[in-house]
Amino acid sequence: MMCLFTNHPSKINLGDPKQANLFFRQSSSSSNNVEVGLIDFQWSGFGLAATDIAHFISAAVYADLLVDGGESNLLQYYYEELKQYLVEYGAYDSADEAIEQYSFDTFTEQYETAVLDMCRLVIAYAWSRFEPVDKDDKVGCARTMNKNSYNKSMPNVVWLMSRCDSILKSRGV
């Protein structure tokens, strides 16, 4: 699907891709495949392809997996998968065309813009609900199951705010 206002791929975004809204099971057809089910379409809508990735990484990935190149590795993986499906579903005729018209740099810029949007949301809305929980605290994790990582994990809050600062500085703000 192509956005009407730009030449960049857009799609229907879930809008709230946190752990509590994603269900995984091993495929009955193959032990190597995983099926994913989604719930909570309250925030769903048309948007840039990198938005759900930014929201998912900001809301559901442990901060220790995002440092030392972890975030970059995830972004490269997601971009490669997106590129493959953009060709498979006809948005582009070839991988080369996809790269030419929707580069990794463009994907990364859209991702960073969405991370900044998450920072706005977290600062303005979510921190009043912050309830710190250590990831090894099974009772605390169960109690805060429906909360995003930035609502319960101090390392994730630090990562998100540091990332926000880094993005703003890279843009001269």
**Neighbour tally for 4: CB within 10 Å:** 7
**Of 140 and 42, which is predicted with more confidence?**
42
Residue 2 has pLDDT above 50, yes or no: no
| Core vs surface per residue 21-41: b (16+ CB within 10 A) or e | bbeeeeeeeeeeeeeeeeeee
Residue 162 has pLDDT above 90, yes or no: yes
Beta-carbon contacts of 160 under 8 Å, excluding residues fewer than 6 positions away, are: 58, 115, 118, 119, 122, 150
96-126 pLDDT per residue, tens:
999 999 999 999 999 999 999 888 888 887 6
Residue 3 has pLDDT above 50, yes or no: no
Which among 47, 39, 41 has a CA at the least distance from the CA of 20? 39
Q: How high is the pLDDT of residue 1?
A: 37
Please name the residue ranges forming H helices in the chain: 49-60, 70-88, 95-101, 104-121, 138-143, 154-170
Averaged pLDDT, 71-84: 94
**Of 1 and 86, which is predicted with more confidence?**
86
Q: How far is CA 91 from CA 4, 7, 54, 55, 98, in A?
A: 13, 10, 22, 23, 8
Q: How high is the pLDDT of residue 100?
A: 94
Mean pLDDT of the chain: 79
